[in-house]
Amino acid sequence: MDLDFVSAHAERAATELTRRDVARALLAVPSGVALVALPDLRRAMLAAGNPLSPVFWDTARATLSSIEAGTATVGDVQRWLEATGSEPILLTPSYFVWPEEDERGPVAEEMYALFVAYLERRVEAGETDPDALATGDPAARAAYEELQERWLNTALPDGRVPVLVVSDEQDEELFAAWDEEESYALAELRRILDELPKRPELPEPELRQAAARLREVLVFPGYPGNVLRACAGFEGGLMPDDDRELWLSVVAGIAGPVSDLDEDVDLDRVLGQDQEKDLAPEPADEDLTHEEAVLAALCAIHHADWLAAVAALARLGPGVLASPERIARLIAESEDITVDMDDPDDLDTTETLFTHVTGLWAYLGIVDEDDVLTPLGWWGLPAALERAWSAEE
């Protein structure tokens, strides 16, 4: 590693290299290699007329030595990199996080480059003091964070607000990935169902009985009526008159909830909390209602888990045990998906999620009081899952 390497890594001449450029190049090679090269690199930068500062070189040696010794944390290294004065901070006070470098879309790439250039100009203008950042000055750090927040939330000359356009791009990528995953799961479900030696027929008497019970449940103001209404998107009490349409809409909604419980429920807050705590049968957080915990659990189940569970039950047929523990094991042993659930905690989490599912299934006649799959459940689960995943077709 030498000055030519740093210049090539930063795609800049030696006279134009910033502290961030040198720091990123040092971190791009093994710490031992960087430590050995540090003295010669410092001399070469001095000879090039771009010496940087003694504080930078001292903190560089200290950071690299800590990495080499195995005592440096990821946060320590990130903090040192941010102290160069032109590195966007990992987490802003308003909790904005830049996408990882290999996950940035065109908009994030553009905004990131503009931001780094802006921060470099602030260093050149003397508005940011990298030495003060490197030595841990609280006032300098606070000013640096405020500077970044201000730029991110201020409109550019073309009217775009960086934090908004980057977040919008991330949302679009997330939705696209979700749609792709759902489309793949739907294709796999249809393939599996087509390969079944026997497809069940609709048990009409059981459907009529289940639909009658369901109509009673849906008008109940509390649990489970409120959760089932949210799952199916039955707002304002409007429900299909047809029993088959009603029943399938609710079962499909369990696999893909259509709406929140009500306007006062912030589902993003629910899902943003610790999963194992929030998805317990009884909420550990006194601010989290049981209904919120149930809906959060439904939203947390992956397409692959639904596919594995329903495919296994469709193959096994009515009379098979469909308890949460059994479903978790069926998912772990499924050959229809790629899953690694050797860790008992993974099994426990899946079982906990499906505890809420089977609890709702019982109200719909999918499983009986012993968690055994009924003929109605055998017929209806694949049909409902296909409906949930083909809503946009």
pLDDT digits (tens, 9 = 90+) for 37-49: 999 999 999 999 9
- The neighbour count for residue 288, using CB atoms within 10 Å, is 19
Pick the closest to residue 214 from 204, 203, 222, 225 (CA basis). 225
| Whether the predicted pLDDT of 341 surpasses 90 | no
- Whether the pLDDT of residue 252 is over 50: the answer is yes
Rounded to an integer, the average pLDDT of 334-345 is: 72
- pLDDT confidence tier of residue 148, bands split at 50, 70 and 90: very high
Confidence of residue 280 (pLDDT cuts 50, 70, 90): very low
Give SS3 for 1. coil
Residue 205 pLDDT grade (very low, low, confident, very high; cuts 50, 70, 90): very high
**pLDDT over 60 (residue 284):** no
At 101 the pLDDT is 85
Cis status, amide bond into 54, omega within 30 of 0: no
Under 8 Å between Cβ of 324 and 297: no
Computed over its alpha carbons, how large is the radius of gyration of the chain?
A: 28
Per-residue b/e over 185-211, b at no fewer than 16 CB within 10 Å? bbebbeebbeeeeeebeebeebbeebb
268 pLDDT exceeds 60? Answer: no
pLDDT in tens, 70-112: 999 999 999 999 999 999 998 888 889 888 888 889 999 999 9
Q: Using the CB atoms, write b or e for 153-179: b if 16+ within 10 Å.
A: eeeeeeebebbebbeebbeeeeeeeee
Average pLDDT of the segment spanning 231-253? 88
What does pTM read for this prediction? 0.64
163 CB-near residues (< 8 Å, 6+ apart): 94, 96, 152, 153
Residue 269 is predicted with a pLDDT of 39
- pLDDT score of 387: 92
* 37 vs 222: which has the higher pLDDT: 37
- Is-contact 203 375, C-beta < 8 A? yes
Burial profile 3-16: b = 16 or more Cβ within 10 angstroms, e = fewer: beebbebbeeebee
**Is 270 a residue whose pLDDT tops 70?**
no
For residues 235 and 259, the answer to whether their CB atoms sit within 8 Å is yes
List the end-to-end C-alpha distance of the chain, in Å, as a whole number: 55
What pLDDT is stored for residue 261 in this prediction?
Answer: 63
CB 84 within 8 A of CB 20: yes
**What pLDDT score was predicted for residue 249?**
94
For residue 263, name the pLDDT band (cuts at 50, 70, 90). very low
Share of the chain above pLDDT 70, in %: 90
Alpha helices in 153-203 (DSSP H): 162-194
Closest to 322 measured CA to CA, from 380, 385, 374, 371: 371
Instruction: Tell me which of 33 and 265 has the higher pLDDT.
Output: 33
